[in-house]
Structure 1
Amino acid sequence: MSGKYICELDENVERKSVSYKNRYGLTIAGDLYTSKDLDENQKCPALIVGAPYGGVKEQGPCVYANQLAQRGFIVLTFDQSFMGESEGEPRNVSSPDIFVENFSAGVDFLGMQNIVDREKIGIIGICGSGGFSLSAAQVDTRIKAVATASMYDMSVAGRGMMNEELLKMAKDQFSQKRWEDFENGTPEYIPSFPEEPVDFIPEGVDPVIEEFWRFYAMERGHHPNARGNFTTTSQLAFMNFRLLDYVDEISPRPILLIVGDRAHSKFFSEAVFAQAAEPKEFLEIEDAEHIDLYDRLDKIPFDKLEEFFKQNL
């Protein structure tokens, strides 16, 4: 189910559905945004915008694409494999390898479009896609510049928050769950958010969960294809996969890390900034929490994003 975008399409922007395959043969569903006054005889710079972890193209990515298409960029948004309108069974499986690959698959697609200058392709990764996009850029040199917003490194977010005892318990739990899933014929999936938007926050929830609830569970950002969480055993993959060991190898291609000053996730971007080589920039947005960089037009620094990519593509 699609059709619901969290922002209205600007009257000067055109959006069309596209599809293409990644290197595993899975069909990716995307949207391609262009300005209506686009000169189709001229090749333009292009951007790929990746959704927050568990999100879909109709949420944060459409907000970014709607704005950046007006500023002269061709913009591609997409649903990750096993998510939204993209192919992949069983549904809601999370795969760090495939999620990184899908950014390079987007570069494949854009490089074949007559209106795109294939030497001027950049990426914006929101939340978990920040880590996936940086990981793709570590090896895919066709990606000429990377910006992240409220970046999460999902390979750290799991095991990095556990001590040795908790990590062993988690491995045991998820390993045993594989037998249960095999016997049932399908992996366990427990969504985090309701099927329909609500106007309340559950009592006693963790402050970080409360923040995500305010976006994903309420009218502000709710989408039926983005109910949160992934199959339970997906967590094993992230315990065995490090996304950003080679982030310094992105240099001399530039990195821009954008965070809210009140974001619970700020330390992820700080760690990447410390590890990355020049050229790199760190931009802190005043009075902004993590989810504000998903959709708040008054907080997302579109002027800076335009400047960064026009200078570096």
Structure 2
Amino acid sequence: MFRRDLIVASLATAALGSLAYAEDKKVTLLNTADKWDKTFPQSDKVECVKVSFKNRYGVPLVGDLYIPKSNKTQLPAVAVSGPFGAVKEQASGRYAQRLAENGFITLAFDPSFTGESGGEARAVASPDINTEDFSAAVDYLSTRKDVDPNKIGILGVCGFGGFALNAAANDPRIKATVTSTMYDMARVLSKGYFDSMTVEDRQQLREALNKQRTKDALTGTPERAGGLPDKLNGDEPLFVKQYWEYYKQSRGYHPRSLNSNEGWTKTSQLSFMNMPILAYSDEIRSPVMMMHGEKAHSLYFSQDAFKKLTGDNKELVIVSGANHVDLYDNDKFIPWQKIVDFYKKNL
């Protein structure tokens, strides 16, 4: 039984992990080719280096920078993050490395308060700060000599697809945006799946979450939501089983991933209760391509968000036969060539 007040745990969950972030802005920490810690194979076509930079709130963010080995000039760049509760060593790194193989400089980064990035308290999500994290990645990329500052795009997976749209609406430096298997986290966390929560449901949820705040204040330690179970009992919803097959198995497990371990803090949901993130998505003037699986439980998020987009340079790609998690790592379903062609055309 998945309680509404723990919906965060059904969506995303992980251990705190190490805090190996750099305090200095733009510092290369190590060449990750020496110690590959990703959930996907390393490419011999790109160089991967770990970098650190700060967002507008002073939170040190850590990312993996993927650079084509054949690079000898300024290149277009793409910043990548997501899914919600994942780390850069999972799906976002896979996307970043694949794009780098196709001639882009890419940055897969851990959002504030998660993975190797800094910020206290840990395992906290914020619609404002996580949107800012994308713009901070654009800050970093635009200052690199090997990046063309007028050709920077972003890519958001799952919950960070929603943050990517929010960033694109607010940051004209973002010249092209791709979302993959997008979640509108503000919508689902304030209204439930398919907007099933009533006003009374929301009031009860607010009461429960704020009681948790009092408890956390008394103990001095924010309580974690718990996340996905170590074992399934068989009667979970299909989408939870699909998340489990990715985050809890060797396919996608990572020790720093919230979704693979202890989950978000229980009160993370509060930030999303009355702060919709797609309010101004109809003002995005740059190109947008949204991708979603035909069989994904979350398809309606992309369908509804796409309807709100304006202009003629917007595209919704429905991937036949794919579920939500297939677009994390399944090369059979991820439309790689469409993504590459979109960025080459628009950056």
Alignment TM class, shorter chain as reference: over 0.9
| Equivalent in the alignment of 1:65 | 96
Kept in 2: contact 1:187–1:231 (CA 8 A): yes
Match of 1:126 among 154, 157, 161: 157
| Equivalent in the alignment of 1:220 | 251
Matches within 5 A, 1:124-273: 124-161=155-192, 162-193=197-228, 201-228=232-259, 229-251=263-285, 253-273=286-306
SS in 2 for 1:233: helix
Q: Find the aligned partners of 1:158 and 1:246 in 2 and give their Cα distance.
A: 19
Displacement after TM superposition at 1:51 (Å): 1.4
Displacement after TM superposition at 1:262 (Å): 0.4
Match of 1:117 among 114, 133, 148: 148
After superposition, what is the alpha-carbon deviation per residue over 1:166-204, rounded to whole angstroms, capped at 9, x for unaligned? Answer: 11100110111111110000111133146xxx6x53332
Match of 1:104 among 135, 143, 163: 135
SS in 1 for 2:63: strand
Q: Find the aligned partners of 2:102 and 2:234 in 1 and give their Cα distance.
A: 43
Pair 1:13 & 2:46 matched = yes
SS in 2 for 1:94: coil
Displacement after TM superposition at 1:121 (Å): 0.4
Pair 1:289 & 2:320 matched = no
Pair 1:56 & 2:87 matched = yes
Pair 1:303 & 2:337 matched = yes
Q: Find the aligned partners of 1:151 and 1:14 in 2 and give their Cα distance.
A: 28
Pair 1:76 & 2:110 matched = no
Q: Which amino acid aligns with 1:38?
A: N
Q: Which amino acid aligns with 1:303?
A: Q
Displacement after TM superposition at 1:75 (Å): 0.4
In the alignment of these two chains, the number of paired residues is 306
Displacement after TM superposition at 1:64 (Å): 0.8
After superposition, what is the alpha-carbon deviation per residue over 1:229-249, rounded to whole angstroms, capped at 9, x for unaligned? Answer: 311111111002110011011
Displacement after TM superposition at 1:9 (Å): 1.2
Kept in 2: contact 1:52–1:127 (CA 8 A): yes
Q: Which amino acid aligns with 1:77?
A: A
Displacement after TM superposition at 1:298 (Å): 1.8
Unaligned runs of 5+ in 2: 1-16, 19-35
Q: Which amino acid aligns with 2:184?
A: D
Q: Find the aligned partners of 1:21 and 1:72 in 2 and give their Cα distance.
A: 26
Kept in 1: contact 2:189–2:273 (CA 8 A): yes
Displacement after TM superposition at 1:160 (Å): 2.0
Q: Which amino acid aligns with 1:9?
A: Q
SS in 1 for 2:99: helix
Kept in 2: contact 1:201–1:214 (CA 8 A): no
After superposition, what is the alpha-carbon deviation per residue over 1:121-167, rounded to whole angstroms, capped at 9, x for unaligned? Answer: 00110000100011011110000011100000100011122111211
SS in 1 for 2:128: helix
| Equivalent in the alignment of 2:308 | 275
TM-score, normalised to structure 2, is 0.86
Q: Which amino acid aligns with 2:59?
A: L
Kept in 2: contact 1:135–1:247 (CA 8 A): yes
After superposition, what is the alpha-carbon deviation per residue over 1:73-116, rounded to whole angstroms, capped at 9, x for unaligned? Answer: 00001001110000011210111111000000000000000000
| Equivalent in the alignment of 1:86 | 117
The alignment-based identity, stated in percent, is 42
Q: Find the aligned partners of 1:23 and 1:191 in 2 and give their Cα distance.
A: 30
CA RMSD of aligned residues (A): 1.3
Kept in 2: contact 1:150–1:260 (CA 8 A): yes
Kept in 1: contact 2:191–2:202 (CA 8 A): no
Displacement after TM superposition at 1:226 (Å): 1.2
Q: Which amino acid aligns with 1:155?
A: A
Unaligned runs of 5+ in 1: none
Q: Find the aligned partners of 1:138 and 1:218 in 2 and give their Cα distance.
A: 36
TM-score, normalised to structure 1, is 0.95
Displacement after TM superposition at 1:227 (Å): 3.2
Displacement after TM superposition at 1:48 (Å): 0.7
Which portions of structure 1, spanning 4 or more consecutive aligned residues, are displaced by more than 3 angstroms? none
Q: Find the aligned partners of 2:66 and 2:216 in 1 and give their Cα distance.
A: 40
SS in 1 for 2:132: helix
Q: Which amino acid aligns with 1:143?
A: I
Kept in 2: contact 1:151–1:265 (CA 8 A): yes
